Structure 1
Amino acid sequence: MQYTPHVYQDHFSELIMDKPAVAGFLDMGLGKSVSTLTAIAELLHNCFEVERVLVIAPLRVAKYTWQDEIEKWDHTSYLKLSKILGTEKQRIAALKTNADIWVINRENVTWLVKYFGSRWPFDMVVIDESSSFKSHKAQRFKALRKVRPLIKRIVELTGTPAPNNLLDLWPQIYLLDRGERLGRTITAYRDSYFEPDKRNGHIVYSWRPKPGAEEAIYAKIADICVSMKAKDWLQLPPRIDNVIKVSLEPAIKKLYKQLERDLLLPYAGGDVIAVQAADLSNKLLQLANGAIYDENKAVRVIHDSKLDALEEIIEASANGNPVMVFYWYKHDLTRLQQRFPHARTLDSTKDVKAWNSGKIPLLLVHPASAGHGLNLQAGGNIIVWFGLTWSLELYEQANARLDRQGQTKSVIVHHLVAAGTVDEDVMKALQNKATGQDALMAAVRSRICEVQKIKAA
């Protein structure tokens, strides 16, 4: 296919060629991959600025997306790609293969750094979905930090650079400039721009930006980061978001309230830490979906209300059009497959092609496995969230599989929300774009207060 770039794509390609370190905070569907490949081809074979390029990406993106993008465009189809995937023997063989670009999944970055050490051979590194390097404690960040002085050029790509809060920015920016703009340590960054928020004595559980901090941070990184929103550059059909309230039978409501009280009351007299809040939320979200894991990891089916609601959408609202369903728990998938035996999952490139060809009427997808890189917009325009997620990043990335450049219809996103459950808290947080640990903690504390009031009454 002949490449006719948009103005913003040309601009981003030029930035990559002009700057040794640059981050593209580009919305999903803006063509980050082809813009980057265009610059890589120029730097490799016209400017002779680099010799070996490494792309770090989520596993599914590393397996399929970069190869597909290279083959798709006439000006990049000659580039040779080697995939550093599979067993250690297969990864080593891939490293020895003659290529222009090598791609590796982010889970193997630590292994790669150990394998080469000071003999690190890649003078250009592209981090696809750099938000996966948002934790300064993660081994992948620490490993890449060691070899950063040996990297001549680095590019970061993501649509969600700070999915939880602005603290997520520091590791990503550090890999670009080694601490020049936001400080050489996370502590220095935090002390400069944040103040304690929730705490228990000397233990700080969360941080909030100081007044004016957000503007100051963005000003510091403006010269090496470019942010582009799809709505500013693309004329996409309007997206329709629909919240479908799912009523639970009185007996199920009673069971939910009992579980909520049993889980929440032990913490009513003290602080709830993040790990506990996540556990509490998980149990309640499971029951809202219709099943729950017991203490022996066995699945206890409680109700089919969401399955009934999904069936109604498929039969009435979809009118025979393909539907993509996002689930969260394994027992969700099992129950979905039992109710809809014809449903398919994304297990290979054949499944992707089948969906885009309109051959799969019902596709079951976990947002963490298809949240990045897959172009599925040709296969349909209807999404149903069977089970919700607190992760704003996964939520937005998952929706962008259909709501992206090339989509010709309005994308309809249905959210199945069990009335009177924690589903409502998650939905509210998603709508306010305030998801993550802070929203989860706030929701749990709010429910503790409600339970205490009911008990007191």
Structure 2
Amino acid sequence: MKYKPYHYQAYATQWIIDKKKSALFLEMGMGKSIATLTAILELMYDYFDVAKVLVIAPLRVASTTWEEEVEKWDHLKGLRISKVLGNEKQRVAALYRKADIYIINRENVTWLVERFDSDWPFDMVVIDELSSFKSSKAQRFKALKKVRPFIKRMVGLTGTPAPNSLIDLWPQIYLLDGGERLGKTVTGYREKYFLPDKRNQMIVYTWKLKEGAEDAIHERLSDICVSMKAKDYLELPDRINNVISVELPMKAKEQYDRLEKELILSIEEADVLAGSAAVLANKLLQMANGAVYDEDGEVKPIHDEKLKALDELIETANGNPVLVFYGYQHDKDRILKHLKKLKPRILQTDQDIKDWNQGKVQVLLAHPASAGHGLNLQTGGNIIIWFGLTWSLELYQQANARLWRQGQKQSVVIHHIIAKDTIDERVMKALEDKDVSQAALMEAVKARMNQYKEGLPHG
């Protein structure tokens, strides 16, 4: 297929070519991969600036997306791909295969660094989903930090640079510039731009921005980070967000309140324990959904209100396919049992994706963590139901983008089943609040490209 880039894609390609370190904050469906591959092609064969490129990506994306892009576009046909995946023997064989681009999943980054150490062979590294390097304590970050001095060009790609807060930015930007913009240490970054927020004696759980810090951070990043929102450049379908409130039965609400207050709940001679704030939040989310694991890992049913709401939403869909996101294993099991007459499918294989896109699946169940990067499901349906919510803005946005993306022919309806007066309401608010923070970042480093907006191709 002949590549006719959108103007914003040509801009993104040139951004990578012009800068030794760069980040593209492009929302889902905007073609980050093709823009980056075109830049790699030019840097390799027109500028002779790089010889060996490493792409680090989520496993499913590493397995399929990048290779499919190379095979799809005529101008990329000459690029040789080697996928460093599978068992160690397969990975080693892939490393010694002659290629231009080597693709590895992020879980094997530490292995790769340990194998090469100071003999690091890749002069350009692309991190697909840069936000997966948002923890400075993670082994993958520490490993890549070690070989950063040997890398001539770094590119970070993500649609969600600050999924939780601007604290998340430091490790990502450090991998790009070695600490030039946000400082050499995460401690220094925190001290310069943040104040302690929620804490327990000496332990700080959350941080809040100092006055003026947000603008200062954005300014520091503006020369290497470019941001583009899909709605500004693509013809996205309409999106309708809908909240379906359900009320817990009296007994279930009493059990919920007791656990929240006393951190322990006895059900059928078994105990549900919540020994910390994080565990409590997790247990309360489970109870809001309708069941909870006790201390032995057994499932204790609490109520069926969300299942009833799910029935109504599926009935209202009039036979149209629905994509249902669940939070816990017991959610999935209860939904499968409850809807068995409809023969619901779980999103697991490429065949599931194919059948969904061909309209052969009425109800497709997916966990947001398994339905994220690189999955195109928009031709199979336009209705999403959140049976159980996630705290992660990144997972939430990525999951919704499976249907709400370019190529979708209908308005996308996103239903959220929310248990009234429970933690569900707080999660919805947290997702909204995080989005405000991230939206501010995206806006601040947004490409000022009004001159490119006119005459954008359609389709």
| Fold-level similarity (TM above 0.5) | yes
Aligned 8 A contact 1:246 1:306 in 2:
yes
Matched, 1:282 2:282: yes
Aligned 8 A contact 1:264 1:280 in 2:
no
Structure 2 CA distance for partners of 1:69 and 1:130, relative to 1, 3 Å: same
Aligned 8 A contact 2:237 2:406 in 1:
no
Cross-structure match for 1:383: 384
Give the secondary structure class of the aligned counterpart of 2:276: helix
Aligned 8 A contact 1:236 1:407 in 2:
yes
Shift of the alpha carbon at 1:5?
Answer: 1.1
Aligned 8 A contact 2:20 2:154 in 1:
yes
Matched, 1:49 2:41: no
Shift of the alpha carbon at 1:356?
Answer: 1.9
Aligned 8 A contact 2:134 2:171 in 1:
yes
Give the secondary structure class of the aligned counterpart of 1:235: coil
Aligned 8 A contact 1:236 1:408 in 2:
no
Cross-structure match for 2:165: 165
Task: Show CA shifts across 1:216-262 (max 9, x none).
Answer: 11111111000111121122122100000122222222222232232
Task: Show CA shifts across 1:179-213 (max 9, x none).
Answer: 11111111221222122223344443322111111
Cross-structure match for 2:352: 351
Aligned 8 A contact 2:237 2:405 in 1:
no
Give the secondary structure class of the aligned counterpart of 2:219: helix
Aligned 8 A contact 1:429 1:435 in 2:
no
Task: Show CA shifts across 1:100-151 (max 9, x none).
Answer: 2111111110111001111111111110110111111111111001111111
Match runs of 1:3-14 below 5 Å:
3-14=3-14
Measured in 1, the distance between the counterparts of 2:43 and 2:236 equals 32
Cross-structure match for 2:336: 337
Letter in 1 for 2:391: W
Cross-structure match for 2:324: 325
Task: Show CA shifts across 1:402-422 (max 9, x none).
Answer: 111212211100001112211
Identity %: 64
Aligned 8 A contact 1:113 1:147 in 2:
yes
Shift of the alpha carbon at 1:264?
Answer: 8.0
Shift of the alpha carbon at 1:435?
Answer: 9.8
Structure 2 CA distance for partners of 1:127 and 1:96, relative to 1, 3 Å: same
Structure 2 CA distance for partners of 1:78 and 1:331, relative to 1, 3 Å: farther
Cross-structure match for 1:428: 429
Measured in 2, the distance between the counterparts of 1:344 and 1:170 equals 40
Cross-structure match for 1:94: 94
Moved segments of 4+, more than 4 Å: none
Cross-structure match for 1:271: none
Aligned 8 A contact 2:165 2:434 in 1:
no
Cross-structure match for 1:198: 198
Shift of the alpha carbon at 1:275?
Answer: 8.5
Task: Show CA shifts across 1:335-368 (max 9, x none).
Answer: 1222233112222222222222222221111111
Match runs of 1:32-431 below 5 Å:
32-263=32-263, 276-316=276-316, 318-341=317-340, 342-431=343-432
Shift of the alpha carbon at 1:288?
Answer: 1.1
Give the secondary structure class of the aligned counterpart of 2:2: coil
Letter in 2 for 1:33: S
Measured in 2, the distance between the counterparts of 1:280 and 1:17 equals 48
Letter in 1 for 2:244: I
Structure 2 CA distance for partners of 1:361 and 1:19, relative to 1, 3 Å: same
Aligned 8 A contact 1:25 1:227 in 2:
yes
Aligned 8 A contact 1:164 1:435 in 2:
no
Q: How many residues align?
A: 427
Aligned 8 A contact 2:263 2:275 in 1:
no
Give the secondary structure class of the aligned counterpart of 1:195: strand
- Give the TM-score normalised by the residue count of structure 1: 0.89
Cross-structure match for 2:18: 18
Letter in 2 for 1:418: A
Measured in 1, the distance between the counterparts of 2:275 and 2:145 equals 28
Shift of the alpha carbon at 1:395?
Answer: 0.6
Give the secondary structure class of the aligned counterpart of 1:407: coil
Letter in 2 for 1:301: P
Letter in 1 for 2:118: S
Structure 2 CA distance for partners of 1:233 and 1:241, relative to 1, 3 Å: same
Measured in 2, the distance between the counterparts of 1:435 and 1:277 equals 24
Across the aligned residues of Structure 1 and Structure 2, the Cα RMSD in angstroms comes to: 1.9
Give the secondary structure class of the aligned counterpart of 1:30: coil
Shift of the alpha carbon at 1:374?
Answer: 1.4
Tell me whether 291-300 or 253-262 shows the greater mean CA deviation.
253-262
Measured in 1, the distance between the counterparts of 2:180 and 2:258 equals 53
Aligned 8 A contact 1:377 1:401 in 2:
yes
Give the secondary structure class of the aligned counterpart of 1:378: coil
Aligned 8 A contact 1:391 1:435 in 2:
no
Aligned 8 A contact 1:129 1:156 in 2:
yes
Structure 2 CA distance for partners of 1:192 and 1:264, relative to 1, 3 Å: farther
Give the secondary structure class of the aligned counterpart of 1:363: strand
Measured in 1, the distance between the counterparts of 2:91 and 2:339 equals 38
Letter in 2 for 1:335: R
Letter in 1 for 2:208: R
Measured in 2, the distance between the counterparts of 1:387 and 1:199 equals 28
Structure 2 CA distance for partners of 1:331 and 1:221, relative to 1, 3 Å: same
Shift of the alpha carbon at 1:295?
Answer: 0.9
Give the secondary structure class of the aligned counterpart of 1:300: strand
Task: Show CA shifts across 1:405-449 (max 9, x none).
Answer: 21221110000111221111112222333699xxxxxxxxxxxxx
Measured in 2, the distance between the counterparts of 1:424 and 1:104 equals 39
- Give the TM-score normalised by the residue count of structure 2: 0.89
Measured in 2, the distance between the counterparts of 1:26 and 1:403 equals 15
Task: Show CA shifts across 1:289-312 (max 9, x none).
Answer: 111111111112222221221122
Aligned 8 A contact 2:387 2:416 in 1:
yes
Tell me whether 370-379 or 133-142 shows the greater mean CA deviation.
370-379
Give the secondary structure class of the aligned counterpart of 1:373: coil
Aligned 8 A contact 1:236 1:405 in 2:
yes
Measured in 2, the distance between the counterparts of 1:48 and 1:380 equals 45
Letter in 2 for 1:101: I
Measured in 1, the distance between the counterparts of 2:244 and 2:234 equals 29
